[in-house]
Amino acid sequence: MNDRVFSFFNVTPGSPEWLDWKWQYRNRITNADALAEIISLSDNDKQDISLCLGGLRMAITPYFASLMDPEDPGCPIRMQAVPSINETRELPWEMKDPLREEYYSPVANIVHRYPDRALLLSTRQCGMYCRYCTRRRKVGEEDLAIGDEDKEKAIDYIAKTPQVRDVLVSGGDPLTLSDDALENILSRLRAIEHVEIIRIGTRIPAVMPMRITPSLLSMIRKYHPIWMNTHFNHPRELTAESLSACAAIADAGVPLGNQSVLLKGINDDADTMKELLLKLVKARIRPYYIYQCDLCVGIDHFRTTVETGIEIIKSLTGNISGLAIPKFVIDAPNGGGKIPVNRENIISFSDDEVALMNFEGAVFTYPQPNAGFGPQGVKG
């Protein structure tokens, strides 16, 4: 842990303030001067960070900041949370909405891309704004849940769409909502007869594990079956605090899955990913997906080649339990949906691009990093 954090916030780990998730949320680090109290930053670093905040705000919980190496710019925790000047670089193939979520949004805050499931965007706030965020066009501008009118329209759409049997409550991060606000959503979804499964997508166990309180879990238990998808990218994130939070979730009868993003210089090697996956399984968290980084504006410096992900999965297969090996997927540009990267789905492969076929038989292209041109979208 980084002891400088605690002197800056004048609290100690384990104190009532530190363990209060609302204190953690209120005291998120949101500017370069505050961050410089925690990690080493030059004047140029501070200037670069300030320039980046016009694209996506910075917000880092004291807990997550305590995991950073204060002297190492290449610290995998720091790289996920601290803005880089690379975010100001916009490349021709990058898009504000690479997954075409707006196109598949029949009403505000609903994304209905797949036949039997829908995404409900419950809030625009997160415990921490990850620098590789795909939904940066929506989150981080203001720390607000969706309004009552928009919530009514979103839930009404689900109620009137009987093919939707599975709803993913995401955002932003739904666990930044109060227990009462989240319960209002869960209870109303559970009252819809054709909604069989409710899932919660959250990064909170990694960035603010003290949010996982007995009262939260007691409330969630009332609306089973509830599943939860966590988001751990690096083994250092699986601290005693995070593991305790996840154990409490599992003990509440909530199955846990994990979705990681393949990030250059953070987890793009087999040893790091192996350590992460084995720790997840030990913690009763099923590795679900590893995502190839999306083509969102300002995050190209996080992208690896597609071959990197393929080689990681190949090196793990047979060497660790199949239970610990997630699917490696590309969420195809221009709304193609999640496509597993395997022999059946790869149509062609080159140094410039990968062509993949999705579940509907349409072919989408994903440009390799530094290929020099953008995705062509649907080919057939």
Active site residues: 113-114, 117, 126, 130, 133, 135, 294, 331, 338
Radius of gyration of the chain (CA): 20
Confirm if 331 and 291 have CB atoms less than 8 A apart: yes
Q: Which residues contact 75 (CB under 8 A, 6 or more apart)?
A: 68, 69
**Tokens 């062609």 -> residue:** 348
Which tokens hold the place of 31? Answer: 């500017």
Please give the single-letter amino acid code of residue 333: P
d(C-alpha 28, C-alpha 262), whole Å = 25
d(C-alpha 80, C-alpha 3), whole Å = 20
Helices (H), the chain: 3-9, 21-26, 32-35, 43-52, 62-65, 76-81, 148-159, 179-190, 204-207, 214-221, 240-251, 270-282, 306-316
For 157-222, the DSSP string reads HHHT-TT--EEEEESS-GGGS-HHHHHHHHHHHHTSTT--EEEEE--HHHH-GGG--HHHHHHHHT
Q: Which residue from 191, 362, 331, 210 is spatially nearest to 261, judged by alpha carbons?
A: 331
139 secondary structure, DSSP code: S
**Tokens 């997550």 -> residue:** 64
**Tokens 């993949």 -> residue:** 356
Q: Which residues contact 81 (CB under 8 A, 6 or more apart)?
A: 58, 60, 64, 65, 68, 128, 130, 131
